[in-house]
Chain A
Amino acid sequence: MLVLEKNALSEEIEQLVAKYGSDRSALIQILQAIQRKHKFISDFAQQEVARLLSIHPVEVYSVITFYSFLCSEPKGRNIVRLCKTISCDMAGKDAVEAAVKRELGISFGETTKDKRITLEYTNCLGMCDQGPAMLVNERVYTHLDPEKAVNILNEIK
C-alpha cells in the first residue's frame, strides 16, 4: 500500500471513530462502514481500528472472522449473494446458479478477473415468498430466473 493511500485510510478511520465513538460497542459499525466502502478490511485498516479503539488487533480480526458479511481479504467491487436455502431452492435457484456461473465464467466463492463481481452463497434472505432471491451489495432482487439474473449482473459496473 502506498503511503498516500495509508494516510487516506487512516484519516477515513479517524472520521469513522469520531462518528461512532471509540467505545468497543462501536467496533462493528466502524468495520461495517469500512467493508461497505472497500469491500474488505485490510490488515492496515484492522491495525488502525485497533489503535483508535485501544484494543488488540487480534480482537478486531476475531470479530471480522465471525461475521459472514465482514472479510479481511480483497473481493470484487460488487458482491453478489445468491440464497441457497430451501424455499429459494424449490423456486428454481439451481437454474439461476448455473446461468450465473456460465455467464461470468467463475464459480461461487470466486471473483471475476476484472474484479467486477464476487459470487457467494448466502442463507435465507427473508424473501422466501418471492424466490429465487439474491443480494447485489445491499440491494435485493427477487423472482429471479436465469435470464433476469444474468441481465442484472450485466448491468452492474
Chain B
Amino acid sequence: MEIILEKNKKRTGPVIFSKYNMGEGIKKALELGRENLLFEIKGAGLKGRGGAGFPTATKWMLSAAANAEKKFVVCNADEGEPGTFKDRVLLLEYPELVFEGMVIAGYIIGAKTGIVYLRGEYEYLLEALEEFLMKMREEKLLGKNILGKEAFDFDISIRLGSGAYVCGEETALIESLEGNRGEPRNRPPYPVNTGYLGYPTIVNNVETLASVPHIVTKGGEWFKKYGTDKSTGSKLFSVSGDCAKPGVYELPWGTKIKELLELVGAKNTKAVQVGGASGICIPKTQFDRAFAYEDAATGGSIMVFNEGRDMLKVLKNFLEFFVEESCGQCTPCRVGNTKLLEGVEKIERGEYTFAYISNLKELGHTMQVASKCGLGQSSPNSFISILENFKDEIFRTNGKGRNNGKA
C-alpha cells in the first residue's frame, strides 16, 4: 500500500520528529517518579493538541488526585476533523511515542488500563498496531511490572470507532466505548472524575501523548525552547489543498501562515482554512498571522485554496459535513446547521436579502453559545468567517461575480 511505503520517508522536526529510542521515555519516567514527571510536563507548558488546548499537566493532576479503584488512560485517535491526518502518521510511523506516552500517563495518574479509540476509517492500521503492542509486551514496556518496576502494571487495547465524527468529542467517545450512541454528555462531571464506566479517565490526543516521552527524556526546559510564551513546543500540521507538497510538517508554534505556505509550495493562495471545517478561514490580507493558541489556533488542519477556488462551494462542503455529523441531541446545532446550509444554497441561487444573511450570522452566534458541545459551538465559524472575508466574491459586489468570474 502506498501509505505503508511512505513509512520509509525520513521526517525531521524540532520535537516530535527529533531523535528518540524506544523505551527511553518509560525508563526515565520510572527513575523520575510521579512528582518530577508532573513538574516537567507542567514546566514544558504542554497543552492539548486535539484542538481545545487544555493544559495537560492540569488534567493529569486532577485525575491523579482522584481516589478510585480503577482509572483509565484514553488515547483519542478519532481524527475526524476534515483535513487532519497527522495522527495517522504518528500511529503508523511513531507508535512508540504514542504508546509510551500512554504508559507514562498511566504511571502518573495511577491507571492500569489504556484504551486507544481508533477511528473506523483507520481499521487498516489495526494489525500493525496490535503487532507493535505485542512487541512492547515482549520488551517489558507493557504488561506486569513494567521494566521490572514492582507493581507497575499497564496494558493497552485498541477499540474501533464506526464512522461518527462527533465521537472525537471526549464525552461522546466515552459513551461510544460504553456501547452507546456517541452523544456528548453534559459537563460537569468531567471525565477526569467520572469518565469511562464512571471511573476517572483522561482523554488525550495522539499528538499530545506523543510529545510526552520527548519531554520526559529531554526536559520541560528543552521543550519550551520552541514556540511562543503561551504556545510552547511544536505542532504537527496536516497540509492539503492547493500546494505542491501536501503532507505532515512539524513546525514550532508561532510560525506564520505565509512561512508555512512558502514551505509547502503554495502559489496564488487566496485563503487558508485553519483548524478544519470547524476552524476559521483566513484571507490573504492576514497571512502574517501566526499559528498559536493565542492567534490562529488549530489542531493542525490546514487547507489551502488558490485564486481559482469558489469559497461558497468550500463553505457548502463544510456545512454539509456538519449537517450529517451533528448528533441531533440539541436544537441549536441540529436545526442551526440545516438553516446555515439552506442559506448557502439560497446565496448560490441568488435568492437572498442582506437582512436574511444578517439573521443567519446572528443564528451562527447563537449556536456558538447555545450548543451543547464543540461541534455546534464551532460549526458556524466557517460560515461567519467565509461570508465576512469573501463577501465581495460571494455577493458579487466586485462586479466580477463569484470565483472572480472564472466559474
Contact = CB atoms under 8 A, between A and B. Distances in A.
A154 interface: no
Say which size band chain B's interface belongs to: 35 or more
A85 B121 contact: no
Given A27-B179, A67-B163, A129 B123 contact: no
Contacts of A138: 123-124
Contacts of B82: 85-87, 123-124, 128
A68 B179 CA distance: 15
B318 A86 contact: yes
A143 B79 CA distance: 20
Residue among A67, A68, A126, A130 with the highest chain B CB neighbour number at 10 A = A126
Contacts of A28: 159, 162, 176, 179
B109 to A, nearest CB: 20
A100 to B, nearest CB: 19
Given A129-B246, A138-B124, A67 B160 contact: no
A67 B123 contact: no
A90 B309 contact: yes
A68 B122 CA distance: 14
A62 interface: yes
A20 B327 CA distance: 27
A69 B80 CA distance: 14
Interface in B80-108: 80-85, 87-88
B120 interface: yes
A68 B240 contact: no
B163 A124 contact: no
B55 to A, nearest CB: 27
Contacts of B176: 28
Contacts of A63: 179-181
Residue among B84, B120, B160 with the highest chain A CB neighbour number at 10 A = B120
B158 to A, nearest CB: 11
B43 interface: no
Contact of B3 (A23, A31, A70, A130): A130
B65 interface: no
B227 interface: no
Contacts of B121: 122, 125-126, 135, 140
Contacts of A129: 85, 238-240, 246-248
A63 B181 CA distance: 5
Contacts of A143: 2
B147 to A, nearest CB: 30
Nearest to B248: A129
Contact of A24 (B1, B162, B179, B181): B179
Interface string B297-311: 000000101000100
Interface in B166-192: 176-183
Contacts of B178: 24-25
A10 interface: no
12 contacts: A29-B159, A31-B162, A62-B181, A66-B183, A85-B321, A90-B242, A126-B122, A127-B88, A128-B246, A140-B3, A140-B124, A142-B3
Given A25-B177, A128-B84, 8 more contacts: A63-B179, A67-B161, A84-B317, A86-B303, A86-B317, A86-B318, A140-B1, A140-B124
